[in-house]
Amino acid sequence: MAWKWYDSTVVRMEDAAPGVRRFWLQVPEQEPIEFKAGQFVTMDLPIHEKRLKRWRSYSIANSPTEKNLLEFCIVRLEGGAASDYFFDQLKVGDAVRFKGPDGNFVLPDDLSDRELVLVCTGTGVAPFRSMLLDIEQRNIPYKSIHLIFGTRYAAGILYREDFERMTRNMPHFRYSVALSREAGIRPEDFAFPVFQGYVHQIYMDAYPTPRPELDFYLCGWSNMIDDAVANLLVKRGCEKSRIHYELYG
């Protein structure tokens, strides 16, 4: 799939959690975007005079069946130029130019013998939501999927309703959440297992030995990815080819 430039319009914005917002960009009916779940686009934002300093990439968070309305889930980073633009300036009706789709962070076509472990923190969940919605909507066969999501507080759990629904409806789908700063977690408040701490303890405990059918997909910021890659390669002895990641920055 070749990328090209698109002119889109912001049609909806919604707060998803403190400091995280969902944005919906619409492209004209005659210009559907053929993308694979897990891919991203690169937006040209009016945040700098130099073209290359205006570009920021964002993972598509909706499923590929929706080709004219793309959803993005974006965190506000303190002092970030794009962050300030998204949270303080962008309005419904504004135009956003982007190129895409791009990226190789996609699942194989045949998942029937794959055990997928998807590990993310914060808005790193975006490509996994796209992949999981795709699997759910197209009934793609898979062996097992374990989504491990990490954030600081319970209020920061993104797309909670989607993943609760998948826990109920998709066989062999597991959803675990790690909250690093939430004190006094009450398990009865959640329909899925919640741990105090970081994502790392969850996959390290759940997958003590590497197996050829186990694939780890990691998405988020470098602090999480660096630790996870080191854990899986060095402490668990996983094959490099079984570890796939998308680094946000």
Ligand X SMILES: Cc1cc2nc3c(=O)[nH]c(=O)nc-3n(C[C@H](O)[C@H](O)[C@H](O)COP(=O)(O)OP(=O)(O)OC[C@H]3O[C@@H](n4cnc5c(N)ncnc54)[C@H](O)[C@@H]3O)c2cc1C
Chain residues in the site for ligand X (CB under 6 A): 40, 56-59, 72-75, 77-83, 103, 123, 126, 221, 246, 248-249
User: Measured between alpha carbons, how far is 167 from 144 in angstroms, rounded to an integer?
Assistant: 12
Q: How far is the CB of 61 from ligand X (least distance, A)?
A: 7
Q: Sheet containing 173-179: which strands, arranged edge to edge?
A: 194-196, 173-179, 142-151, 111-121, 214-220, 243-247
Instruction: Yes or no: say if 71 and 13 are a contact pair by the CB < 8 Å rule.
Output: no
DSSP state of 2: -
Q: To which residue do tokens 């400091």 refer?
A: 19
Nearer Cβ to ligand X (84/136)? 84
Q: How far is the CB of 182 from ligand X (least distance, A)?
A: 19
Q: How far is the CB of 39 from ligand X (least distance, A)?
A: 9
- Interacting residues of 33 by C-beta distance below 8 A, sequence separation 6+: 6, 27, 67, 68, 70, 100, 101
Nearer Cβ to ligand X (58/142)? 58
Q: Which two tokens stand for residue 64?
A: 């590929």
Q: How far is the CB of 115 from ligand X (least distance, A)?
A: 25
Nearer Cβ to ligand X (142/216)? 216
Nearer Cβ to ligand X (24/248)? 248
Name the residue whose CB lies closest to ligand X: 80
User: Measured between alpha carbons, how far is 176 from 165 in angstroms, rounded to an integer?
Assistant: 14
Q: How far is the CB of 102 from ligand X (least distance, A)?
A: 8
Q: How far is the CB of 76 from ligand X (least distance, A)?
A: 7
Nearer Cβ to ligand X (63/83)? 83
Nearer Cβ to ligand X (187/249)? 249
Check whether the bond before 32 is cis (ω within 30° of 0). Answer: no
- DSSP 3-state of 183: coil
